Structure 1
């Protein structure tokens, strides 16, 4: 008897496994129906519109940059000429000053070139060498890649993107409520489609017919139901007697009675499928009636997800995965114009320094007058702009 019971249990298990496989197959078919009418494939393929990067602020006009880019070449030409002619013996008087021009060309050209190449070297050393070299060393930014990644990720997670900021933006934008309303309209547009309803009903009928029509699956389901019934009335004597009496009156084993009841399910369901239309019609309204509960659940789940999001770790790991050259290119692409301006400004400042070396007092006076004039003009224009 034990062996027969063991074989029966084994057969029941196999039948239930077959039922699970068929259920998975029908579930895939149901998903295809939903995907067809909801056009979910198109929704998943639709990516967010690409964000256009903000235009670079033109801090300096193109003509100014072009003019400044010529200065180093002019200084180089002046330095070359100074070897052959450099105001030899020329001098003049100005407001009581005796100005000697001899050697001026070489002084201002050398000072200007030193200013330009000093800034150029300093900027170059920020980014190169990208890889550590035995003698030349390592560029500042590539050498500090990991530290930069940590600092940037810390700044992003603390000041730019953190759970509290995300929650605040979600609350202010009312995005959950808006998407819930849009989802309700979207669901309604699907379930109002008569073809969708017909295919859904057909799927239900086919699924039940196929499951119940298989005698092994039907027997396994009946056995499972019978076991659950027996477990439910295990400590209830009256119910046990009633169950046995019913089986005796029917003249059948309870297993067969349950199987016969299962056979009637597809017919019963088919006759009551019209009620599915009523249920589908009521679905959008039920969603609206429980909108507050739905939004609270979604908000709670979203907040839990956000709290588990480690923004700093995510940003830091991504930045660490970049090679040194890529980090350098990111910074250079955002500041390239300013870096060139700094190089050219070094040439201009060096040129001014050359004039101060040539005639210190007069050059300082002229420079102070020019600086004061520019500062005053800038202040006046700033006040007018306000």
Structure 2
């Protein structure tokens, strides 16, 4: 139902009715109970309706200047309204607690990760996207790869020299790394994932690498007329008992104590390395050789390993099945990141951190000032329309109800007996109000 049209119809009807009975009463120039009653009732409705009508209009009129000393309340207090509105939005609508609760209730993180996974899945299925991405990755690696490797090796050189001079740093670095490893291995899912990666590297990738190295050595020995039987093949040296490896990895997954044993071995390695570096002879040897090591490794990596890695990566990405694996790993990572993020957000320290930083962002954006500036840019007509639109027709309903209440009051003025149904209606309304207050635990 269109409230505005109903209000317009009611306004015209009650105004015409009051005018009609008034004219009839004036023309007859004699007392008539029905004419008088019609005029009183309709006129009471007019008074009730137009009282609210004028009160609402006086909020916005006059828009400029004054009429009989009166200035529209909204135009007059526009600056205060703008400031108050901005403060209310920042305090009551954009409060950190409210925003976080909104994220939890609407499950925005879960929905966001689902949308992200669907979007990523669509991209992976798009052959043009795969080709463009592959070409871009290869191009970047060819262009930036050598510089990137140089930067890594330079950093490695500086780090090794620093560690050689300060063995105590190993203890500090290892303490931090150890804590992260223990936290990671505490989760069975992480141990399963790590075991799977170890299984792939030891049983699939490493034998492939050893075969390549072995073939290269065989070729070299033949070219130099050296006995081909020189030494054992590298592929025989780098080999693993599949069954034994499976048993070890399964034990690593099932028994958390195995992780403790692993950490014990790593602790001993860290201590041994620290002790070695504490020796002046070792420090001097490392400092004298590290530059040469890094330079040789860097040159070999740029000239040999990087081109080979780029070619292997291109061949890998050219296969659509491998993109499916990339997608699966990406989806697993997204789910993992989602769970970790939700756990962190719900933890006391995470929740407090987010609240503090959300408050800082809102304060930095200065929502109060932003809203105030935008409201001040509106002219009075636009501001009036915004207020009326956002009340959802409630002000129009107030006008309409004013007319109805006026008509009811008019009936009482016609005859006291009409007060009985009116008072009954008032009593029913009051009882309904009290029941509602009690039902919802509200106070007057």
Range class of TM-score, shorter chain? 0.5 to 0.7
Matched, 1:264 2:304: yes
Matched, 1:229 2:130: no
Contact 2:46 2:403 in 1 (8 A): no
Cα deviations by residue, 1:272-311 (Å, 9 ceiling, x for unpaired): 3156648725333344445432444677586555333259
1:239 aligned to 268, 286, 308, which one?
286
Cα deviations by residue, 1:14-60 (Å, 9 ceiling, x for unpaired): xxxxxxxxxxxxxxxxxxxxxxxxxxxxxxxxxxxxxxxxx87x6x9
Distance in 1 (alpha carbons) for counterparts of 2:292 and 2:86: 75
- What is the aligned partner in structure 1 of residue 72 from structure 2? 139
Displacement of 1:81:
5.0
2:419 aligned to 352, 368, 380, which one?
368
- What is the aligned partner in structure 1 of residue 210 from structure 2? none
Displacement of 1:72:
1.6
1:324 aligned to 356, 380, 387, which one?
380
Question: Cα gap change, 1:69/1:222 in structure 2, threshold over 3 Å: closer, same or farther?
Answer: closer
Displacement of 1:176:
1.6
Contact 2:86 2:372 in 1 (8 A): yes
The RMSD of aligned alpha carbons is 5.0
> Structure 1, unaligned stretches of length 5 or more?
1-54, 92-98, 248-253, 357-362
Displacement of 1:321:
3.9
Question: Cα gap change, 1:343/1:129 in structure 2, threshold over 3 Å: closer, same or farther?
Answer: farther
Q: Name the SS for the 2:142 alignment partner.
A: helix
Contact 1:118 1:346 in 2 (8 A): no
2:329 aligned to 263, 282, 295, which one?
282
Structure 1 or 2: larger helix share? 2
- What is the aligned partner in structure 2 of residue 307 from structure 1? 359
Matched ranges for 1:13-32 at <5 A? none
Contact 1:116 1:347 in 2 (8 A): yes
- What is the aligned partner in structure 1 of residue 340 from structure 2? 293
By relative contact order (CA 8 Å, sep 6+), the higher-ranking structure is: 2
TM-score if structure 1 supplies the norm length?
A: 0.55
Q: Name the SS for the 1:133 alignment partner.
A: coil
Question: Cα gap change, 1:297/1:201 in structure 2, threshold over 3 Å: closer, same or farther?
Answer: farther
How many residue pairs were aligned?
A: 295
Contact 2:157 2:291 in 1 (8 A): no
Contact 1:142 1:328 in 2 (8 A): no
1:187 aligned to 120, 124, 136, which one?
120
Distance in 2 (alpha carbons) for counterparts of 1:158 and 1:244: 59
- What is the aligned partner in structure 2 of residue 122 from structure 1? 55
Distance in 2 (alpha carbons) for counterparts of 1:175 and 1:105: 60
Contact 2:60 2:73 in 1 (8 A): yes
Contact 1:76 1:113 in 2 (8 A): no
Question: Cα gap change, 1:207/1:366 in structure 2, threshold over 3 Å: closer, same or farther?
Answer: same
